[in-house]
């Protein structure tokens, strides 16, 4: 009888892990995971540094990502600006830029980019007022 309990407990533990793996292996799941993680990091940074300008908060959030340095952060911010140095950006654009840069680097820069899907995910996950 204890083995039935063990099987049920194992299923309860493994099902979310398997679902998470499957979800993050699709472009949409990958984008959603990045968006949710970045939104969480944004809220923490904003709480810790309430007086920082938004773009500096965005920069700090990006720098929390593994293997991100100033050069990579600038690349993401430029993607968010659409190549225009003076363009004002919001966090949704930053997350979209991050998804694009990460997705392309994950696939060696050679992929058909599902940009409309990435825009949709960023729009669904990131409020437009931050």
pLDDT values of the chain reduced to their tens digit, one per residue, 130 residues: 655 655 665 556 544 444 444 445 788 999 999 999 999 999 999 999 999 999 999 999 999 998 899 999 998 998 888 877 777 889 999 999 899 888 888 877 666 677 888 888 998 999 888 8
pTM of the predicted structure, to 2 decimals: 0.74
- Residue 123's nearest CA partner among 105, 86, 96, 104 is 96
pLDDT (0 to 100) of residue 15? 47
pLDDT (0 to 100) of residue 9? 55
| CA distances in angstroms from 99 to 13, 14, 126, listed in the order given | 29, 27, 13
pLDDT (0 to 100) of residue 60? 95
The secondary structure of residue 49, as a DSSP letter, is: -
Please give the full DSSP string across 56-110, using - where no structure is assigned.
HHHHHHHHTSTT--HHHHHHHHHHHHTT-TT----HHHHHHHHHHHHHHHHTTT-
pLDDT (0 to 100) of residue 22? 46
pLDDT (0 to 100) of residue 3? 57
Question: What ranges do the domains of the chain cover?
Answer: 27-125
pLDDT (0 to 100) of residue 51? 95
pLDDT (0 to 100) of residue 86? 72
d(CA 99, CA 97): 5
Q: Which helix (H) or strand (E) holds 8?
A: helix 2-24
pLDDT (0 to 100) of residue 21? 46
pLDDT (0 to 100) of residue 20? 47
- φ/ψ of 34, rounded to 5, equals -65, -45
Q: Which residues contact 73 (CB under 8 A, 6 or more apart)?
A: 59, 62, 63
């Amino acid at each position: 009888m204890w083995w039935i309990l063990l099987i049920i407990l194992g299923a309860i533990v493994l099902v979310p892990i398997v679902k998470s793996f499957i979800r993050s292996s699709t472009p949409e799941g990958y984008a959603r995971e990045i968006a949710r993680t970045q939104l969480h990091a944004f809220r923490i940074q904003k709480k810790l540094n309430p007086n920082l300008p938004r773009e500096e908060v965005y920069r700090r959030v990006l720098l929390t990502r593994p293997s991100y340095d100033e050069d990579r952060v600038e690349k993401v911010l430029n993607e968010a600006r659409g190549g225009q140095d003076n363009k004002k950006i919001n966090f949704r654009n930053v997350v979209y830029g991050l998804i694009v840069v990460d997705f392309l680097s994950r696939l060696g820069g050679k992929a058909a980019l599902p940009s409309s899907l990435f825009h949709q995910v960023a729009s669904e996950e990131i409020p437009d007022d931050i």
